[in-house]
Amino acid sequence: MIRIILFLFTNLAVMLMFGLILNLTKIDTNSLYSLVIISGLLGFSGSLISLFMSKWIALYSVQGKIIKNPNNKTEQWLINTIHYYSNKIGINIPEIAIFPAEDINAFATGFGKNSSLIAVSSGLLNKMNINEAEAVLAHEISHISNGDMITMTLIQGVINSIVIFFSRLFANIIAMNFFNNKEDTDNNQITITYIIISTILDIIFGIIANIIVLWFSRNREFYADAGSAKLVGKYNMIAALEKLKMSSEPEEPKNITTLCIHGKNTSILQLFRSHPSLEQRITALYNEQYM
């Protein structure tokens, strides 16, 4: 129920923003070209803002702490290892953080290769051996090297724009046709009907769009695993994934587990999972499918 209410408020906010932009820019609302412009602006704005704020949001969500000066040998090893593999693969040194969690996990985020962050859980540092931990770090560095943060933002922006465009286009067509032959119709009735229809279409198109985004999300995990295998050896990466199978359920918030090497796959249907199963990833490495 809470998610539905939040979605309705979000849709209302989009509609208000939509109207504000139209008023400020004096764009003709009846023009398809205008609708394309507005859909693009709204579709990409949220994704880009999230990307720019991703490091702050991620650290706040997991209560992570950036390590600037190592306090012990483990932190020194973590910094040295990330520096080594970052230099080896040819990217700028990411910021490094540790967050408190019993599960074995890590994630990379940030605005591109030159402004990235790698965060690891305390559980990873306590429960993995050096080879396994190096494989996980190489996996996250591969995400950065592959430009996955930018790629997912662009994909999300394009998908958002398409959803906004078609939901508003069809809502406008349906609303206008519905009241076409009714002389006593006022603009308020048309507007309310338009908002209701566009909200319903947002839900339907949003589900379809989410399937597409999650497909890309699953595929990027395969390629990051392959990138790690090239850096540290496929058997070390396989060993790391095997260790993840024995780890406790990820404790990180949902918005963070999508980024993590070990994600929550609570959905029964593969289509709605952000990560492939660990068994699929291990099999792909054995078969060298993405290498």
Dihedral angle computed from the Cα positions of residues 233, 236, 240 and 246, in that order, rounded to the nearest 10 degrees: 150
Longest dimension (CA), the chain: 79
CB-side neighbour CA atoms (13 Å) of 275: 22
98 forms beta bridges with 65, 120
Instruction: Specify the 3-state DSSP secondary structure of 212.
Output: helix
The whole-angstrom distance between residue 18's C-alpha and the CA centroid of its chain comes to 24
- CA atoms of 107 and 231, how far apart (whole Å): 18
Catalytic, out of 95, 140, 221, 252:
140
Whether residue 198 contacts residue 15, with contact meaning beta carbons closer than 8 Å, is answered with yes
Establish whether 140 is a catalytic residue.
yes
Of 162, 167, 189, residue with least CA distance to 178: 189
Q: What angle do CA 149, 153, 154 make, to 5 degrees?
A: 120
Reading the block at residue 57, the tokens are 């949001």
Distances 55 to 13, 67, 76, 90 between C-alpha atoms, Å? 25, 14, 22, 21
Catalytic residues, which ones?
140
